């Protein structure tokens, strides 16, 4: 048996070398108490359960302050809580997950990736109790399609499409985590996309002059919001991507200024990457001046509370901006994205490049923007049409007599 590390004494713990990997001691079969030693702050207690399958934080160690039995724990309190939590979690690990539990897990996964956990709740609101309580492994395509079609009596196809995609993602995550769930085809067929589900007010495309009028009106809501709107219009990025921008993402000292735009973390993508998106030298200069004096990891758009423009914080100021510009309330900040994609397509930018620049797929662009492409397909095709000269023989006019 491996030697136990002395963790019951705060003096001994503070002599340990700070590191990301926690120090662990076995406290029961398949359960270990883990202590993470931090450099300048108190260490944290964690429990390593399931024979090392999962790690969960349980509290702060009493390195720098007295234990209170709730947030700050001494060694013995940490052991007790670790055992209780590990045994409860391991006991639940074998239970088949329900549709409702799958949505709860999906909400936690969204939060962990910095996305809106409310997206999972939108599906839960419309789920009947019988379906919510059913085990994912037993869900059938028929009952899922009946639920989807039933929502069409009270919701627009676009809204139904978004809600069903939320549930699909939750069920897929559940199947990824539990090998016993083998009925993925049930939601692939039962929640198949509707013909009109890609429409709706979020797909409103506006002309360049209208976009410029929105940019010109936005400063009424403040200089930070005005820059945020301009970045949305120029790059076509989603609001959640712009909210994640950091000061260091502004590359203004290049001959070709750009933003290192964070990816959206949609679907199964877990890691937030960054892709270069071109911007004008003037916008790059104003962004750099706006961020002057702040460290590179700081949020580029911090909002008044310093937490950034998360979730729908942009919604109300953008609606006020739209009203001041004399536009329909159907125009949302997503209209800037849809207009950017459409503008690129009509400028004959290859669809693959458009997809990369807007952090989406070729398939999604073809499905969502096919109408915009088709409206101008005739002119584009006609420009490449072969012109055939009339044969000389056809120009001969016979004379009578």
Query: 317, 221 in Cβ contact below 8 A?
Result: yes
**pLDDT digit string, tens, across residues 15-63:** 898 888 889 888 877 788 999 998 878 889 988 876 777 778 888 898 8
Could you tell me which residues come within 8 angstroms of residue 291 by beta carbon, excluding any fewer than 6 positions away? 247, 250, 298, 300
User: Does the CA dihedral 258-264-269-272 come out positive or negative?
Assistant: positive
Domain termination site, one of 92, 107, 136: 92
From residue 5, how far is each of 8, 124, 159, 160, 165 by CA, in Å? 9, 46, 55, 55, 48
**Residue 67 belongs to some domain of the structure:** yes
**Long-range pairs, 51-58, Cβ under 8 A, ≥24:** 54/89, 55/22, 56/85, 56/89, 58/82, 58/85
Query: 229, 283 in Cβ contact below 8 A?
Result: no
In a shared domain, residues 140 and 24: no
- The alpha carbon of 5 is separated from its chain's Cα centroid by a whole number of angstroms, namely 41
Predicted TM-score (pTM) of the model is 0.56
**Residue 170 belongs to some domain of the structure:** yes
Q: Can you give the residue range of the structural domain that contains 182?
A: 99-197
Residue 372 confidence class, pLDDT cut points 50, 70, 90? low
Q: What is the pLDDT of residue 199?
A: 47
Q: For 151, how many CA atoms within 13 A lie in the half-sphere containing its CB? A: 25
DSSP state, residue 26 = E
In a shared domain, residues 206 and 353: yes
Task: Order the strands of the 54-61 sheet from edge to edge.
Answer: 23-28, 31-36, 44-49, 54-61, 72-73
**Residue 172 belongs to some domain of the structure:** yes
Q: What is the pLDDT of residue 1?
A: 45
**pLDDT digit string, tens, across residues 200-249:** 445 788 889 999 999 999 999 999 999 999 999 999 999 989 998 999 99
From residue 347, how far is each of 78, 114, 306 by CA, in Å? 62, 34, 38
Domain termination site, one of 92, 110, 126: 92
Query: 317, 303 in Cβ contact below 8 A?
Result: no
């Amino acid at each position: 048996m491996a030697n136990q590390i002395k963790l019951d004494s705060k003096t001994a713990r503070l002599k340990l070398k700070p590191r990301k990997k926690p120090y662990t001691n076995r406290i029961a079969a398949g359960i270990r108490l883990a202590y993470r030693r931090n450099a300048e702050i108190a260490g944290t207690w964690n429990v390593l359960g399931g024979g090392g399958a999962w790690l969960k934080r349980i509290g702060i160690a009493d390195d720098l302050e007295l234990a209170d039995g709730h947030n700050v724990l001494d060694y013995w309190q940490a052991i007790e809580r670790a055992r209780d939590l590990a045994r409860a979690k391991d006991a639940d690990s074998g239970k088949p997950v329900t549709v409702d539990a799958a949505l709860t897990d999906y909400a936690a996964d969204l939060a962990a990736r910095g996305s809106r956990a409310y997206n999972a709740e939108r599906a839960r609101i419309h789920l009947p109790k019988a379906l919510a309580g059913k085990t994912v492994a037993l869900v059938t395509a028929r009952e899922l399609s009946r639920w989807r079609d039933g929502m069409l009596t009270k919701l627009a196809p676009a809204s139904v499409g978004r809600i069903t995609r939320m549930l699909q993602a939750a069920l897929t995550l559940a199947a990824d985590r539990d090998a016993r769930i083998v009925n993925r085809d049930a939601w692939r067929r039962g929640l198949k996309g509707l013909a009109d589900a890609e429409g709706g007010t979020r797909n409103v495309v506006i002309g360049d002059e209208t976009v410029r009028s929105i940019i010109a009106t936005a400063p009424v809501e403040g200089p930070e919001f005005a820059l945020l709107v301009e970045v949305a219009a120029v790059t076509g990025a989603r609001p959640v991507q712009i909210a994640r921008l950091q000061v260091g993402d502004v590359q203004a000292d290049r001959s070709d200024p750009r933003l290192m735009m964070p990816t959206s973390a949609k679907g199964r993508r877990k890691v937030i990457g960054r892709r270069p998106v071109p911007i004008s030298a003037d916008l790059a200069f104003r962004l750099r001046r706006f961020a002057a004096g702040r460290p590179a990891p700081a949020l580029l758009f911090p909002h008044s509370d310093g937490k950034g423009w998360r979730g729908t914080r942009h919604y109300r100021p953008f609606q006020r901006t739209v009203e001041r510009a004399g536009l329909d309330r159907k125009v949302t900040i997503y209209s800037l994205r849809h207009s950017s994609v459409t503008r690129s397509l009509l400028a004959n930018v290859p669809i693959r490049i458009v997809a990369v620049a807007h952090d989406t797929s070729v398939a999604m662009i073809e499905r969502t923007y096919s109408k915009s492409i088709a409206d101008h397909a005739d002119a584009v095709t006609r420009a490449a049409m072969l012109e055939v000269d009339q044969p000389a023989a056809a120009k001969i006019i016979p004379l009578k007599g």
